[in-house]
Structure 1
Amino acid sequence: MVNNVATVGRSGIHDFILIRASAIILAAYVLYILGFFITTPEVTYDIWQGFFSGLCTKVATVLALFSLLVHAWIGVWQVLSDYVKPALLRGFLQFFFAVLLLTYLVTGILTVWGV
C-alpha cells in the first residue's frame, strides 16, 4: 500500500465523512432555529436573548459554528490544492485561511459564551 504524504494523514473518505457530518449538524441547527421562530409568536430582544442564554442553544451554536468551519476548511483546502499550483502561494493561502477560520472560531465562542 502506498502512503501519500501530501494528505497529512487525511484521506478522501475522511473528508467525505467530515463534510457529510458537518452538513447534518448544520441542517439540524437550522431546524432548531426554525423551530424557535415557528413556536415563538413574537420575537423581541428579551425573548431572543433568553433563547440564546440557554445552555442547549449555546452548545448547539458552538457546535454549528465548528461544523461550519470544518466544512469551510475542507472546501478551501480542496479548492487550493486543485487550482493553486505554486506550492509557496498555496501554503501561504492555506495558512491565511487557517488563521482566519481559527479567528472566527474564537470570536464566535467568545460571542456565544459572553466572555
Structure 2
Amino acid sequence: MKSATGFTGSGSRDWFIQRVSAVVLAVYTVVVLGWILCNGGFNFEQWYGFMMTTPMKILSLLSVLSLVAHAWIGMWQVFTDYVTTRQMGPSANGLRIVLTSAVIIAVLAYAIWAIQIFWAN
C-alpha cells in the first residue's frame, strides 16, 4: 500500500511532527535571541562559549533535526500538491523524483554539517 506521506506514512503524524518541530525551532530562536539581547556587545569567545555548552549543543541538535523534519514534510507536501501529472503532464513524475531527491540530499547534508559543527570538538 502506498504511504499517505513521505515522512511517517501518516498525515496526522506528519502534522504532529511539523507542529512539534515548529515549537522546538521557536524555543531555539527565543533562547538565542534572548542571549543576544542580554549580552549585547559580545565577542566571538563569548558566543562560542555559549553555543558550545552541552545544553546549547543539545538544543542546537534538536533544532537542526526539527528543521530537517519540518523542511522535508513541507517540501514533500508542496511537491505532491503542485507537481502533478494533471497540472504538468507525464513529466511531473520525473520532476517530482528529482526535486524530492534534491531536498533529501540537501537536508541530510545540512544535518551532517550542523552535527559536525556542534559535536566535532
Question: With structure 2 as the length reference, what TM-score do the two structures score?
Answer: 0.84
Q: What percentage of aligned pairs have identical amino acids? A: 32
* Letter matched to residue 74 of structure 1: I
Q: Note the alpha carbon deviations across 1:36-91, whole angstroms, 9 max, x for none.
A: 12322431111011111211111111111111111111111001001112222211
* Letter matched to residue 101 of structure 2: F
The unaligned stretches of length 5 or more in structure 2 are 85-91
Runs of 4+ in 1 over 6 A off after TM superposition: none
Question: With structure 1 as the length reference, what TM-score do the two structures score?
Answer: 0.88
Residue 62 in structure 1 maps to residue 61 in structure 2: yes
* Letter matched to residue 113 of structure 1: W
Q: How does 1:1-115 map to 2 (within 5 A)?
A: 5-7=2-4, 10-85=9-84, 86-114=92-120
Between the two proteins, the alignment pairs up a number of residues equal to 112
Cα distance in 2 for partners of 1:30, 1:114 equals: 23
Offset of residue 6 of structure 1: 4.1
Q: Let me know the Cα RMSD of the aligned residues.
A: 1.6
Cα distance in 1 for partners of 2:51, 2:77 equals: 34
The unaligned stretches of length 5 or more in structure 1 are none
